[in-house]
Structure 1
């Protein structure tokens, strides 16, 4: 009994063991076959994903390179140099005197225009000076239409002139009065700054922390023929190339060279070094604003500023085209 039972139990246990062993490989075989079938699909998907990622990285890399190259080409980095910061130089005492002297709320110009300056109604005066072919936004400064504004020059000039109650200013050459308008073009001529006041009220403005005098030339003088009284040469001043109605940051009359520079005190040759002459010839007019010492008399002045009295101007004819 024991033996039979033992055998039976062993047999039964063996069968159960065999069944267990038999069932597990069958399930493992199915899983392996399914995995074997899925492997190519998973491998292909992983490969495609890796390729897509590589393509994306490569595209991003190329795009960044192209954008940087394009931006470098379109907007190259340059040394802008001085910032040309323009500021008013208003003496509080002069401002107080002008305010006390003039009651602006009873002023007819202020009542009509809203400011002490004139409101432009036509361009008849300019049209009588310059030809119609030059009557455009290239040769005449018009109102700024950019979203950033860029109105600092106009506001600075009007504040400086308004503090002195200057509604009209004289041309430094012909002495004719020029009306000051509240919008561009500010005058029928050009403003420019100089370290020396040639004629008219001494209105000061600040450029990069240095004080200069505000000067102006009318359009008729700009479009006239200039000659030098000392050497007799002409064609050294090209007034027709300047944009009317705006401000230049250098002495435009002194930018033209015709004869050797002399000391304004002793009239001896100043002996300008070759490097400075080259800078002036290349358009670096900032050197005009520097004081120089005469080797003969030792006087330090702005010798490079041309005296307006040494210039002869033949008034141009009136254009009626």
Structure 2
């Protein structure tokens, strides 16, 4: 190492570690520097790669990168949060939940979208978490915790419980307490068909027995729960293409602690207040059963400022009056009814939306297909330029002011009459 360069490194590392010059001369200093790109939070704390409890390892795709590849755990967590924030605004990751973004960030699926926010300090590469670098200390703590739980479980006294089977009516349904606030609505049967008899009549021919991924996956305690049905199985999703039969395209479980998911609670409480155990697709009008657990419907819910049909439920969300609407799986995939813009003839595609959950914006306004959808609802002048795009899908559902007539309105949220209904070929 050149003499000047050695002196500079010695000064930096000597300040960080408070080491004497003799110690500095005999160590590899670059391996002890925190390589976090956005500034080290604890420059006075020395990095020890052998102590894995407080250190995270990253990899730079620049083979000539001179930095250490190690970060303080606190620095890494702070940097990772900034990358996750960037990922929220990237392509298909906008529709991912927080849990999905955390799971996908350092896999190919998420990193291909977020790598631009992972630039290394060397200026010629991008950082990525080293997934093969196992935190041995954490693994050991987890093993100890499991052993303690197993030991405590074995010491617990065994209780013998007598469970009384609930009465079964003549229609085969078990009686249950009402989940809704009214307390008088009868429970729905978990064995009911999720669609009307004529729904997907042509589509079910597409179902491939080899793709029946959910055929053997059953719900325990599949009786009705309150006014909402309990799914007996997930076989209604077997008509989907094989690559969509997974938890990324179908909302399968709560994200909150102990199942306290805000979205599911909001949906069920809103529908229970309206005494609706079923809803209707705003495109084709077919009836959809509402279930008490994810996936909540065989389609998806969304809320927006416009009431697209009489079946939409008025709710209050973010201190605004909005309308809760639903679209069935057949219309999202384009099997039942296809929508085509009357102005540019471009079809609307909902096949990328996650099934069984709720979006907090109008899904028809999220991706404007032509300039007609960017015009003011009052004076019909362009609210934004055709080449201008807003940052988030939800921005198109917000109220904006027209630059010409100053009308404050949800200009980008148009009526469904802007679309032409096209029946798919038989």
| TM bucket normalised to smaller | 0.5 to 0.7
User: What SS does the aligned partner of 2:420 have?
Assistant: strand
CA distance in 2, matches of 1:207, 1:157: 11
Asked if 1:73 corresponds to 2:76, the answer is yes
Structure 1 residues without counterparts, runs of 5 or longer: 1-50, 82-97
Q: Which residue of 2 aligns with 1:28?
A: none
SS in 2 for 1:62: coil
Aligned partner of residue 121 in structure 1, secondary structure: coil
Q: Does 1:305 align with 2:305?
A: no
Provide the residue aligned with 2:143 in structure 1.
none
Instruction: Point out the structure with max Rg over C-alpha.
Output: 1
In structure 1, the residue matched to 2:46 is: 61
Contact persistence 1:139–1:243 (CA under 8 A): yes
Structure 1 residues 174 and 271: CA distance shift in structure 2, 3 A: same
Q: Deviations along 1:226-281, whole A, 9 cap, x unmatched?
A: 320122223xx33111110001111111112122133435xx5332234x96343x
Question: What corresponds to 1:11 in structure 2?
Answer: none
Matches within 5 A, 1:58-207: 61-63=46-48, 66=55, 69-76=72-79, 77-78=81-82, 99=182, 103-104=184-185, 107-109=186-188, 113-128=224-239, 130-144=240-254, 147=257, 149=259, 151-207=261-317
Matched-pair contact (CA < 8 Å) for 1:221–1:315: no
Taking the aligned partners of 1:72 and 1:314, their CA distance within structure 2 comes to 54
Q: State the match for 2:357 in structure 1.
A: 246
TM-score normalised by length of structure 2 = 0.48
Measured after TM superposition, the shift of residue 151 of structure 1 is 1.1
- Counterpart-to-counterpart distance in 1, 2:330 and 2:370: 25
Q: 2: distance between equivalents of 1:221 and 1:239? A: 8
Call closer, same or farther: CA 1:142–1:70 in 2, change over 3 Å.
same
How far apart, in 1, do the equivalents of 2:408 and 2:257 lie?
45
Alpha-carbon deviation of 1:152? 1.2
SS at match of 1:211: strand
2:342 aligned residue? 229
Q: Tell me the residue number matched to 1:272.
A: 383
Deviation at 1:121, TM superposition (A): 1.7
Asked if 2 retains the 8 angstrom alpha-carbon contact of 1:197 and 1:213, the reply is: yes
Q: Confirm or deny: 8 A CA contact 2:367 2:393 kept in the other structure.
A: no
Deviations 1:165-203 (A, max 9, x none): 111111111111111011110011111110111113442
Task: Confirm whether residue 212 of structure 1 aligns to residue 197 of structure 2.
Answer: no
> In structure 2, what is the Cα distance between the partners aligned to 1:239 and 1:145?
23
User: Does structure 1 conserve the Cα–Cα contact (< 8 Å) formed by 2:251 and 2:295?
Assistant: yes
Equivalents in 2 of 1:252, 1:222: separation in Å? 11
Question: Across the two proteins, how many residue pairs are aligned to each other?
Answer: 238
Shift of 1:149: 3.9
In the alignment, structure 2 segments of 5+ residues that lack a partner are: 1-19, 33-44, 57-70, 87-180, 191-222
For 2:197, the equivalent position in structure 1 comes to none
Contact 1:221 1:316 in 2 (8 A): no
Higher relative contact order (CA 8 A, sep 6+): 1
Is this contact kept in 2: 1:221–1:313, CA < 8 A?
Answer: no
User: Equivalents in 1 of 2:236, 2:423: separation in Å?
Assistant: 15
CA contact (8 A) 2:308 2:415 kept: yes
Could you tell me how far 1:164 is from its partner in structure 2?
A: 0.8
- Separation (CA, whole Å) in 2 of partners of 1:243 and 1:286: 19
Alignment of 1:11-90 (within 5 A): 61-63=46-48, 66=55, 69-76=72-79, 77-78=81-82
How large is the Cα RMSD of the aligned pairs? 3.7
Say yes or no: does 1:283 pair with 2:392: yes
For residues 78 and 258 of structure 2, what CA distance do their matches in structure 1 show?
Answer: 18
- Secondary structure of the 1:72 match is helix
